[in-house]
Amino acid sequence: MKDENEPEALGADAAAFLDGLRGADDPTAADRQRVRRKVLAAVAATGAAGLASSGGAAAASATGVGAGLATKVWIGVAIALAGAGVVGGVVTTLDDPDEPAAVAAGRGESPRAAAGSESVSPRTEPSEAVPEAPPSDSPAPTPAEPAPVVEGGAPSPANVPARAREAAAPRERAPSAALPAPAEAAEAPEAAPPSEPEASPETLAAELSLLRRAHGYSRAGDHEAALRVLAEHRQTFPAGALGAEREAAVAIALCGAGRREEGRAAAERFSVAHPASPLRARVRSACQPR
C-alpha cells in the first residue's frame, strides 16, 4: 500500500521495500486463530459468572447476557491490542459469521458442543455456614438430688411412693384384751379409838396432883370445892392424858352436890365418849336414887 505523502522520487524497489516493512507487523492466520480462542474463552468465563450471580437463569437468557458482555470484551481487547499491530485480526474475527464452527474446529469439538459451552450450568454457591449458637448463660441442670435419708438409712416418707409407704407402715395392733380390773382394796380396818395423848412425866404428875385434890374434897363432902379443882384441870390441860378421869369425877361431883340433872347429862356424855372405860358403871350409879 503506497503512502500518499511518499515522495514520488523513490523508485519501484524502494516502494516495494516500504510496503514489506508496513506489512511485517500484520497478523498471520495463526495469530488471528490464537487471539480468537483466547477471546472466546474469556467471553465464556464472563457469561458463566453472570449466570451464577443472577441465581441460575435459563440457558437462553445466559446466552443473551453473554453476547452483550462479549461485545464489550471484544471492544476492550481490540483497544488493548491496537498498539501491537493486530487490530485487523480482531476486527476480522468480530465480523466472521462462522465463528462458532471455527472455534469448535480450533478446539477439536463439534459445533453443537461449542454452542452448548456458552450455556454453562449455574454453580451452586455454598450455603453460608450456620454460626454456632452462643453458649447459654443459663446454668446446666443440676442432677436430681437423692431422697433425704433419715436415721437408720431409710428414705424420707415424703419421697417414698404411697404404695410403698402403705406396705412399710406397721399394721395397727389389735386392741389388747382388757386387763382384769384390780381387786378392790382391802377394807381398811376400823379406826381404833384415839389413844390418850402421851404426856411427859412432869405433865402427868401435875394432872394427877389436881385429880387427887378434887377426890379428897368429894370424900370430905365438899363437892363444890371438888368442882372448882376439876375446872382448873380442864383449863390447864384441855387435852391432857387424864381427861377421861376428869370428866367422870365431874359427873360424880355434880350428883353429890345435889345437881342431879347436870350430873346425869355429864354421865351420858361420858358414856358416849368412852364406852369401854372401866369408870362407866361408877358414873351411872352416882346419880341413881338411894
User: Quick check: is 161 in a domain?
Assistant: no
User: Quick check: is 77 in a domain?
Assistant: yes
User: Quick check: is 252 in a domain?
Assistant: yes
CA distances, 95 to each of 14, 79, 82 (Å): 34, 16, 17
* Final residue in a domain of this structure, among 118, 134, 168: 118
User: Quick check: is 124 in a domain?
Assistant: no
Are residues 44 and 120 in contact, defined by beta-carbon separation less than 8 angstroms? yes
Work out how many domains the chain is built from and give that number.
2
205 and 114 fall within a common domain:
no
Q: Tell me the pLDDT tens digit for each residue of 37-51.
A: 766 776 566 655 555
Q: Tell me the pLDDT tens digit for each residue of 215-232.
A: 999 999 999 999 999 999
Among 223, 269, 281, 217, which Cα is nearest to 243's? 269
User: Quick check: is 274 in a domain?
Assistant: yes
Calpha distance 181→133 (Å, rounded) = 84
Provide the residue range defining the domain that includes 102.
15-118
User: Quick check: is 167 in a domain?
Assistant: no
CA distances, 142 to each of 49, 97, 138 (Å): 55, 80, 11
CATH of the domain at 239: 1.25.40.10
* Final residue in a domain of this structure, among 94, 118, 142: 118
User: Quick check: is 130 in a domain?
Assistant: no
Q: Which residue type does 150 have?
A: V
* Final residue in a domain of this structure, among 118, 139, 174: 118
Are residues 199 and 208 in contact, defined by beta-carbon separation less than 8 angstroms? no
Count how many residues are written for the chain. Answer: 290
User: Quick check: is 81 in a domain?
Assistant: yes
Q: Tell me the pLDDT tens digit for each residue of 95-139.
A: 444 444 444 444 444 444 444 444 444 454 444 444 455 555 555
Mean pLDDT on 171-199? 51
The Cβ of residue 94 has, within 10 Å, a number of other Cβ atoms equal to 15
pLDDT band per the 50, 70, 90 thresholds, residue 71: very low
Calpha distance 100→111 (Å, rounded) = 6
At 48 the pLDDT is 59
At 2 the pLDDT is 47
Of the chain, the end-to-end C-alpha distance in Å amounts to: 217
